[in-house]
Amino acid sequence: MDFRNEHGSSLTIVLIFSVFALITTSTYLISQWTIARPGLLAPSSFQALLNARSGIWKAMELMNAPPVDTLAHINTLNANFNDSLFGKQSKNLNDSVALPPDDTTDVSLFSTDSFGTCKALFTYMPCFKSITSNGFFRSQSKTVSATLGGILHDSPDTVCFLGNKLPPEGGGIIDGKVAMLQDSNSLPPPSAGKAVPVVIPEMRITDLVKAVSYFKAKFSSTNDSLFQNTVLTIQDNDKLSSIKDIVNGPLLLDGSHHDLFWKEKRRVMIMGDLQITGTVTVENIEFLVSGEVKLFDDCVFKNVSIFCSKTLTITDKSVFSGNAVSLTQISINKRARIDNKSVLVAYTESKPAQLLQPAQGQQIPQQSQAGQQIKLLCSVFLTQDVRCDGTIIAYGDPSGIKTDRNVIVRGSLWSSSMICNEGAIYGFIRCKELISATELDARQKVPPAPASGKNFMTGSVRRLETIADYPYPFFMGKPSIIRWEDGM
């Protein structure tokens, strides 16, 4: 046996075992680090989320802050004068600077900068305001969206808010209290021992006009630079992605041959009419339409926002949920359904009398004939077995609401003038006067019949326990965040 071959063999074994042990231990360390990393990043991620949430509150404060009079604050003798000319591009908002829409803004959050930053974007939806806030902390970022609306009604007991004290005639059912409309500003302060009268907050018309001006400005800026194209017809799901953010003409979604399903979170501006026919499902889209909007044939709109300059028609068993503003008229008929606590607003400006030409689904007043000159007093029509779960608001001239028999509304009808109610309402109605269909026809003629001065209703209004859960537009009631979407 030759022992010389064993020289230094133990060193080799030590080296091999050492390397093996080091590799094993390093693997253990790496695996521990990999497992621990998400947990160790949790505080950064959570602080980024808190920054995003804080940005929502800060942006809301900035939105409500009065604008600064810049001229009054210019001081050419100040050493910092003209600094912004060469400074950073993004604006840093600290105090009392109104937040402009569609403009991402750096928001200073806390008393110290070490907890990260935030960028906020505010935009109008037709009935609501939306704030999207991006919070940043170290390498983490989080996005939070908030929808701002209003809360209007606290108690379900009062079902009728009327402009005068006269009890309604006509045999209608009022299952609840009737209150007179009162201006909340003119009320005396509540004193001890006296009950506070029920007050329904009125519309903040300035806010509504601001939102309408914002959308009109969108149309006019697009109109200047574009030529109208022919109708863009989409009959295939593959072609839905080809619809651009601005459509230079009417858009027709035709689901009569193939079912169409369009789910996307985006804003589409249509410089013309929007018509939906056939089996079409649209989800999460915001439509700005310079013409009319017509929903036909079992189409389904889920969580959709619509701003249209002309008439909004929802008919033929179509289903709508979301929010919508029409600057002319809203016509819901033929077994159409409004779902999911939706909000629909008709805001109209004064129009002269016109020759009677009934629109799709709109009834000719009983005592009127085609060709006769009339001045419409209603801007919202709910007819022919409509089911509505939501809030219908009519403001301007005309601003009446007309509901037919076999119409059921859960929620509320809010009119700045009159309501002709023949249907069943669960919730409340608010108007200056309740009138009958006969009187409505007579007063729409030219020259109009004089107002009777009475309240008249053949339909019913009953209390709804969940009425406080119904959201209202941001320009009515107590401003509130009605929806949070955290941590995207």
Partner 1 sequence: MACDMKHFPTQTGMTILESLIAILILGITTTAITSLIVTGDMIAGRRTTVYAATTLAKSEIERLRAYEKALVLPKDTIYDEIVNGIEYEVKRTWVPNDTISMNSSVLHREYSISVGRKINQSVSVNFRTLQGYYGEPTQ
* Range list of H helices, 354-470: 437-444
Residue closer to partner 1, measured from CB, 2 or 349: 2
Tell me how far, at minimum, the Cβ of 483 lies from partner 1, in Å.
14
DSSP 178-236: EEE---TTTSPPP-TTSPPPP----B-HHHHHHHHHHHHHHHHHHHHH------EEE-S
Nearest to 429 by CA among 469, 398, 394: 394
Residue closer to partner 1, measured from CB, 146 or 314: 146
Residue closer to partner 1, measured from CB, 58 or 410: 58
The answer to whether the Cα torsion of 353, 354, 360, 362 is positive or negative is positive
Residue closer to partner 1, measured from CB, 187 or 446: 187
- The count of other CB atoms within 10 Å of the CB of residue 201 is 14
Tell me how far, at minimum, the Cβ of 109 lies from partner 1, in Å.
6
Tell me how far, at minimum, the Cβ of 63 lies from partner 1, in Å.
8
Tell me how far, at minimum, the Cβ of 75 lies from partner 1, in Å.
21
- The count of other CB atoms within 10 Å of the CB of residue 15 is 10
Residue closer to partner 1, measured from CB, 110 or 219: 110
Tell me how far, at minimum, the Cβ of 463 lies from partner 1, in Å.
24
Nearest to 327 by CA among 383, 384, 380: 380
Tell me how far, at minimum, the Cβ of 484 lies from partner 1, in Å.
10
Tell me how far, at minimum, the Cβ of 203 lies from partner 1, in Å.
16
Q: Residue 472 and residue 200: Cα distance in Å, rounded?
A: 12
Residue closer to partner 1, measured from CB, 187 or 226: 187
Exposure of 220 in the CB half-sphere (CA atoms within 13 A): 6
Binding site for partner 1 (CB under 8 A): 3-4, 6-8, 10-11, 14-15, 18, 21-22, 25-26, 28-29, 32-33, 35-36, 39-40, 42-43, 46-47, 50, 53-54, 56-58, 60-61, 64-66, 94-96, 108-112, 115, 478-480
Residue closer to partner 1, measured from CB, 57 or 219: 57
CA angle 51, 207, 119 (to 5 degrees): 20
Helix/strand/coil for 28? helix
